[in-house]
Amino acid sequence: MKRNVIILSILAFFVNLGFGAVMPLLPFLLLSYEGRLTDLPENLGKIPEVSTIALQMTILMSAFMITRAFLAAYFGNLSDKVGRKKIISIGLALYTIISIGYALSTNWIELLLVRAVQGVASAMVWPVAEAMLTDSVPWSERGRYMGWYMTASNISFFIGPTFGAYLYKIAAIVFKFGLPFSLVFPFYILALLSLVGFMLNFFTVETVVGERRIGIKEALRNSINDSFSGGIELPPGVSRSIKVIYIMGLANGVAMGLVAPITSIFVIQYITSDPAAIGYLSTIAGFVGFLVNYPAGHISDIVGRKKIVILAQIMTRTVTFLMPFTRRYEELVLLYSTRAAAFNIMSPAYRALQADLVPKKLRGRVFGTVQSLFNIGAASSPIGGYIYQISAKWIFNILGYIVPGVAVSFWLSTAIGIFTTILFILFVIEPTKELKKRIST
């Protein structure tokens, strides 16, 4: 069954590579659709008017998050009944189609539709793949193997922007395709990578078997009516922890939605508009994340998950607060790398903790619900875009530092993140070995 860990990690690498490659290109595609790109982006230096597309950028993210939010728990629950493998296969086929959709889009409304469908594909793949992976390994090694998986996933996500930017450079400089085709050329390559991921999934081993597995028609009829516990009585501390993790998922989604889509806008407006330079940020950060992800997951198997998660949460919130103070590329690289390290330290431990708390037959449902709530929160991202646009002309003077008004979005995100960290410290338990064994059986 550990073959699943290897295949799912490779699959995650390919799919996230494509997802990451999209990110540095979206702002320039939007600017191109509006006729605001008069030359290749790297020849324009900073682009002050990029703040005018902040709301569009956040709406694109919201479309992705809304469809993913409403369907992640459903597909996770469905996979508990009909099996993980077929749900993942359908999602990967959609990813291939979506890549072509990006390439063929000619305006931001069409791009919006593509992003919405991408949310459906993501809901089918990610919570189900994580549940399949944790099904496949012993509870005592979940942190280590989740570290493998998250390393492959996160480093490809961070490498992706550089990959996408260089595919754009090849199209624009080597082949001289011009705008906007040079901006969409990378998506044809991404379609091929998604197809490879689809084919790899045929070699995974199904983990939902025996009496728990039912027909897909029956599952479709009764999955919506399933209760949270599925008839399983959970210990009070475990039940409370899962509920708090649900609250954290929603709040962390809001915090992320406030800053994730506008960070690239901030960089283009105040630091650089070169897609390759923006890609470098993610590649350097990805390398840092690669170095810490697996060790962090393995250490969490030894010292416990909770301490690791708390440390990483504090690091992440600090970086988010400091982001709007940056004006030099080198400072930005440092902050990006620190944030990547914190995220990669936390992710395997946090997901392993969720698996420790949840019986196997509920794992798809709980993983899916956490992601649904996170995405519902992240779907509020247009609020961040609106705040960014109206605060773009504001200036704050903080102890002699001149900070643009757009810092408001970053600071609101920090405050919400501190709230979720406090919740985690106070109300989420670290299960004992005996409790983990009892839950896993």
**CB atoms closer than 10 angstroms to residue 192:** 12
The correct CATH number of 3-204+228-440 out of 2.40.30.10, 1.10.3720.10, 1.20.1250.20, 3.40.50.970 is: 1.20.1250.20
Q: How far apart are CA 248 and CA 235, in angstroms?
A: 20
The two tokens of residue 268 are 């283009």
Tokens matching residue 129 = 């793949």
Query: And the tokens for 23?
Result: 């990110």
Q: Report CA-CA distances (Å) from 304 to 262, 300, 310, 359, 363.
A: 35, 5, 11, 19, 20
Please give the Cα distance from 354 to 374 (Å, whole number). 14
Whether 308 and 345 have beta carbons less than 8 Å apart is answered as yes
pLDDT value for 223: 42
Please say whether the dihedral angle defined by the alpha carbons of residues 298, 303, 306 and 312, taken in this order, is positive or negative. negative
**Proportion of the chain in helix, strand, coil states, percent, rounded to 5:** 80, 0, 15
pLDDT tens string for the chain (441 positions)?
A: 678 888 888 888 888 888 778 878 888 888 888 888 878 888 877 888 888 888 898 898 888 888 887 887 788 888 888 888 999 999 999 988 988 998 888 888 999 999 899 889 988 988 888 888 888 888 778 777 877 787 777 777 778 888 888 899 899 888 888 888 888 888 888 888 888 888 988 898 888 765 444 444 444 444 434 434 445 567 778 888 888 999 999 999 899 889 888 888 899 899 988 888 888 887 888 788 778 877 888 888 888 889 999 999 999 999 999 999 998 999 999 998 999 899 888 888 888 888 888 877 777 778 778 877 887 888 888 998 899 989 888 998 888 888 889 999 999 999 999 999 999 999 998 887 777 677 665
> What values do phi and psi take at 250, rounded to 5?
-65, -50
Give 218-221's long-range contacts (Cβ < 8 A, gap of 24+).
218/81, 219/78, 219/81, 219/82, 220/78
- Assess contact for 76 and 131: CB atoms under 8 A: yes
pLDDT score for 408: 93
How would you classify residue 415: left for phi > 0, otherwise alpha for psi between -120 and 50, otherwise beta?
alpha
Q: Residue 307: how many CB atoms within 10 A of its CB?
A: 13
Instruction: Look at residue 427 in the predicted model and tell me its pLDDT.
Output: 93
Q: How far apart are CA 184 and CA 171, in angstroms?
A: 9
What confidence score (pLDDT) does residue 220 get? 40
Return the SS3 of 404.
strand
Residue ranges of the alpha helices (H) in 136-180?
142-169
pTM (global) more than 0.85: no
104's CB contacts (< 8 A; 6+ apart) are: 110, 184
Residues sharing a CB contact under 8 Å with residue 348, sequence separation 6 or more, in sequence order = 143, 144, 146, 147, 149, 150, 293, 294, 296, 297, 300
CA dihedral (436, 437, 438, 440) positive or negative: positive
DSSP assignments along 230-261, one per residue:
TTPPPPHHHHHHHHHHHHHHHHHHHHHHHHHH
CA distance 309 to 348: 9
Q: How high is the pLDDT of residue 14?
A: 83
Give the chain's end-to-end CA distance (angstroms, integer).
Answer: 17
Sign of torsion over alpha carbons 61, 118, 278, 30: negative
Please name which of 187, 194, 195 lies closest in space to residue 164, comparing C-alpha atoms.
187
* Paired strand residues for 402: 397
pLDDT for the residue 93: 93
DSSP H/E element including 402: strand 401-404
**Exposed (0-12), middle (13-18) or buried (19+): which is 97, by Cβ within 10 Å?**
middle
Q: Can you give the pLDDT at residue 440?
A: 62
**Is the omega angle on the peptide bond into residue 180 within 30 degrees of 0, that is, cis?**
yes
What is the DSSP track for 281-327? HHHHHHHHHHHHHHHHHHHHHHH-HHHHHHHHHHHHHHHHHHGGG--
Alpha-carbon distance 282 to 277, whole Å? 9
From CA 124, how far away is CA 72, in angstroms rounded? 7
| Domains of the chain by residue range | 3-204+228-440
